[in-house]
Amino acid sequence: MTLLDIIHPDNPILRKKAKRVTTFDKKFQALVDDMVETMIEAPGVGLAAPQVAVSQRMAVIRLQDDEKSKEEFGDLAGKLYVVVNPEIVKTSKEMVEGVEGCLSIPGYLGTVDRFEKITIDSLDRYGKPQRIKAEGWLARVFQHEIDHLDGKLYIDIAKEVWEVRPEDQDDENVVAE
């Protein structure tokens, strides 16, 4: 496996709508594996293909699996999600405010409103249809990653953006995607 370079907003790929995935060959499987390794090493909880300069509608997501996360997320802690050509098909009416960061915009955080609950239809890494229901922090991460696939960054919808402060480093309510 290979660690991939994470691009920043000066690269136009981040601002373009990614192309649908149609092939699930060995090259695609290697990309999935490389993205998972890159996300974990970064460290982050999500990584969309455009963030590694690949214009494909695919993202990987994995909540931490440390003890604190296991207490908070139960079986979801450490579970790997690979979503290909994802679409949000249902949302809650309730929106929640939260703090987000992004591996493509290091050193900054922002306050973003997201749906509390969502349902996603997508394909898995092998092209098999899947439906995922997510709420809370996991729903926020999925929405953040799907925004990347549409060429949108959290800073585009944030109420406020600021440089990371020392006290932000240990805040468990910060999504460091």
* Annotated catalytic residue 100: no
Residue type, 93: K
Catalytic residue among 145, 163, 172, 177: 145
Q: Looking at residue 168, what is its pLDDT?
A: 65
* H/E segment holding residue 100: strand 95-101
Domains, the chain, in order of start with CATH, read 12-176 (3.90.45.10)
The one-digit pLDDT tens for each residue of the chain (177 residues) are 799 999 999 999 999 999 999 999 999 999 999 999 999 999 999 999 999 999 999 999 998 777 777 777 777 767 899 999 999 999 999 999 999 999 999 999 999 999 999 999 999 999 999 999 999 999 999 999 999 999 999 999 999 999 998 776 655 545 555
